[in-house]
Chains A and B, each alone.
Chain A
Amino acid sequence: MMRLEELFDLEAIDEIVGLYAPWDAAAARELLELFAADAHHSLVRIRVSAWLGDAASLRHEANRLKGASGSIGATRLETECIALERCAEGDLGELVGLEERIEYAFSVLQETREALRNPALYRKARGCSNIQTAT
C-alpha cells in the first residue's frame, strides 16, 4: 500500500481543506470522493477507447483526467494519466503494455479512494504532522 505522500500532493490537499475548514470539515472529503467517482468513469472510458483502438479519445480522456487529478492533488494518478496520454500519442496498434498500464491506473485510483477514508489525510492537512498515516 502506498503512503499518503506517494498518492497526494499534501500541500494541495491542505489548500483544499483550508477552503472549507473549519465551518464544513466534511466538504473537502466529499469533494475528493466526488473526484474519485468521476475518475473511475474516466478510466472506464479510457479502457473502452483502448479496446476500440481510438487513440484520439483515449488521449483526450487521459488529458482531462490529468487536469482534474493534478488540480485535486491526486498526483500519483496524475502521473499515470500523463503516461497514458503519451501512450495515446503513439500508434495504439503498436503499443505494448497499454492494457496493463490502464489496469495499473485503476489500481492507483483504488488506493487513492481508500486513502480518502484515512483521517490522517485531513488531520495532516490541518497541520497535525505527528499523526501516523496508515501504510
Chain B
Amino acid sequence: MAVARAAILHVEDDPSLQRLVRAALEQLGGHIVRSAGSGAEALALAAQFAPQILLLDLDLPDMSGLALLKGLRGVAGYAALPAVLLTAVREPGARAQLDALGVREVLQKPFRPRLLVEAIDRVVAKGGT
C-alpha cells in the first residue's frame, strides 16, 4: 500500500548523516525533509516549517534531543506531532517517558536507509500525518 508523503523535520548535527537521511527519506520514501544541525536551529526552524513528523538525534551539540522535544511541544502546532529517535545512545530513556513525549519509534545508529524509511512509513501509516 502506498504511504502518504510526509513533511519531516530532521535534527542531526553530523553533516554526512544529515545528507544520508535526507537522501533516503526523499529518494526512497518520497518525503519532504528539512534539516537542522542543533536544537537552537530546530527551534528557529519550527516557527517557519510545519512538519508532520519529528526525527531527532539525542546527542545534539547544544542540548539533548529529549530536551529539544520538550521545548518543541510548546511550539504552536508541535504539541502532538509524532517523534522518531535516531540515536547511537543505547538506552535513550524509559519507555513511559518516551511515550509521554510522543516518541513512536526508537532507531539505533548505525542504521540502514531502507529500514529508516520503513520506520517513518510505519509512523505515517499509523496516522502520523
Contacts and interface: CB of A to CB of B under 8 A. Distances in A.
Contacts of A63: 88-89
Contact of A69 (B27, B28, B110): B110
A109 interface: no
B59 A19 contact: no
B110 A34 contact: no
B23 A38 contact: no
B111 A71 contact: yes
Interface of A: 12, 15-16, 19-20, 27, 31-32, 34-35, 38, 60, 63-64, 66-72, 78
B19 A64 contact: no
B73 interface: no
Interface in B63-99: 87-89
Given A31-B23, A72-B20, A64 B15 contact: no
Given A19-B28, A60-B59, A67-B88, A34 B109 contact: no
A16 B20 contact: yes
20 contacts: A16-B113, A19-B20, A19-B23, A31-B16, A34-B16, A38-B14, A38-B15, A63-B88, A63-B89, A64-B14, A66-B110, A67-B87, A67-B109, A68-B16, A68-B17, A69-B110, A71-B111, A72-B16, A72-B17, A78-B110
A19 B16 contact: no
B24 A19 contact: yes
Interface string B27-39: 1100000000000
A15 to B, nearest CB: 6
Contacts of B23: 16, 19-20, 27, 31
B110 A64 contact: no
Nearest 10 CB-CB pairs, A to B?
Answer: A70-B110, A67-B109, A67-B88, A35-B16, A71-B110, A19-B23, A34-B16, A19-B27, A63-B88, A31-B19
B14 A68 contact: yes
Contacts of A32: 16
Contacts of A15: 112-114
B109 A68 contact: yes
Nearest to B26: A19
Interface string B108-129: 0111111000000000000000
B38 to A, nearest CB: 14
